[in-house]
A and B are shown apart, each in its own frame.
Chain A
Amino acid sequence: MSNTIKAVHDDDLLGLLESLELLNKFNAGKLKCAFCDETISHENLHSLYPDGGTIKLVCNKPSCVSALMAKLEEKRYE
């Protein structure tokens, strides 16, 4: 169990996306939420998480945030 919240601040967000080779897709509106398939934008980006060898993004809809938490629980006990 971890009590650390890992985070990226908006000051570093674009730099991080560039480092992850996701910035061009982000700017072009080609990144989708891992749970609802909605386009990820600067307005709705909630988080990033690694899954199945790729980095996935999640939007800030309550249902998607809950789905992310459920996914984390699953991964914890795998």
Chain B
Amino acid sequence: MSEAIAFVLGTFGTGLGIILLLFLYPDKVQQWGAMIGYTLSKFGGIFKSLHKTAVRLDLQGYINDYVGQFSKDLPFLESKKVKVEFIDQSATRKSLLEDGSVILRLRKDDSDELNFVHGAYMFVSTSLLYRVKRYISQSQRDALDLYITTQLIEKEKPSIRDHFLEEYLHPNLKDPKSERSLNYKNISTIDDGGLFHAVLLEELEFLGSKVFGNNKDDRIILEVRGLMEFLVKVTQRKVGQEDTDLNFEREFCRSAILIVGKATTILTYDKTPYVNYIRDILFKKNKIETIYILGGVEKKDIIDDVCNQVSGLYQVIRKRNIKNNLNREDGTKKKVDTYCVVLRQFETRLYQQN
């Protein structure tokens, strides 16, 4: 990043360079602006009012930086950039009632960086994963919001991580037997296994798109709980363990995980067993709508070829490299680079209530 900035400034001169940087790295420029604003505001006098601008740039710069990375991995998510808008101090009761928005208080004296904690949590809760969260339970939604806010803070503001955990996350999860805590633990386990973005959020988004416009339904909430429990079992599966059910066949979600792993299968039979399994079992017999094919990155060509051979039945909607933990027989874990392709049937069912 610093080399890129030096290149831009060196090549185009300071004035034009800064304008270019604004276009190329708007979030970073806002972060720098916040830093300068905070520093100058400490001098008081004419600089005092810069604190307000600095808080705005700080929130926008760091949250949008995270959102940019988040939406690269999950382009279907609603992830427009956050904008902080200050309410005028002369705003009337009538105008606030008509507007209907929550007004977040941003502090001038903020040694614990509560402004960022509250702003990030509010943004994640009210804007991210909108369609996904429409149909899940409150405790499932809380767990997702807390988990993603934790990730955001760990990534963007690691210096306030401990404060966030002590003052915000742990009080929210103080009852380990609560639904919220159990959901949070499940999400954490799924993420540790590399399947949070790659499978859980993909599946929740697809579920949301299938039922969007309908009323909330307890059957969906139960199914999402089942999906999380299913993915926990998959991520806790030991290498080579074959008795774990890798299909999740329910009323709304019909998905399967296919692991391309056995070297002996590939050596002996090439890709044929995988292609036949997708055609005959997953597609024809089980009517699976979404298949998540996982395999070591060295098997990328094999997996891509399998996808090509079933391209009349399923379309590739996502390819990504993920890092996940494999559970060895001896109880230890090994972090591996995994290639993941998401296949989806061309025609999928929509659920509409009468």
Contacts and interface: CB of A to CB of B under 8 A. Distances in A.
A25 B59 CA distance: 30
A5 B134 contact: no
A6 B145 contact: no
Contact of A4 (B85, B97, B142): B85
A6 B104 contact: yes
Nearest to B102: A49
B162 interface: no
Interface in A11-50: 11-16, 18-21, 45-50
A12 B78 contact: no
Contacts of B59: 5
A12 B86 contact: yes
Interface residues of A, number: 41
Contact of B126 (A2, A55, A62): A2
B141 interface: yes
A7 B88 CA distance: 9
B106 to A, nearest CB: 5
A20 B127 CA distance: 27
Contact of B91 (A19, A49, A63): A19
A27 to B, nearest CB: 16
B268 interface: no
Given A8-B105, A50-B97, A68-B102, A62 B167 contact: yes
Given A10-B106, A20-B93, A5 B84 contact: yes
A8 B100 CA distance: 15
Interface string B120-134: 011101110010011
Contact of B105 (A47, A55, A77): A47
A3 B167 CA distance: 25
A12 to B, nearest CB: 4
A45 to B, nearest CB: 5
Contacts of A46: 104-105, 118
A8 B118 contact: no
A58 to B, nearest CB: 8
B168 A72 contact: no
Contact of B51 (A11, A45, A47, A62): A11
Contacts of B96: 20, 48, 50, 55
B282 interface: no
A63 B109 CA distance: 23
B89 A5 contact: no
Contacts of A62: 167-168, 171-172
Contacts of B100: 50, 75
Contacts of A19: 89-93
Given A5-B119, A13-B89, 10 more contacts: A2-B126, A4-B82, A8-B104, A10-B108, A12-B86, A16-B90, A20-B96, A60-B114, A69-B122, A72-B126
Complex A-B, nearest 6 residue pairs according to Cβ-Cβ distance, in ascending order: A15-B89, A12-B89, A10-B108, A69-B125, A49-B102, A9-B52
Interface of A: 1-16, 18-21, 45-50, 53, 55, 60-63, 65-66, 68-70, 72-73, 75, 77
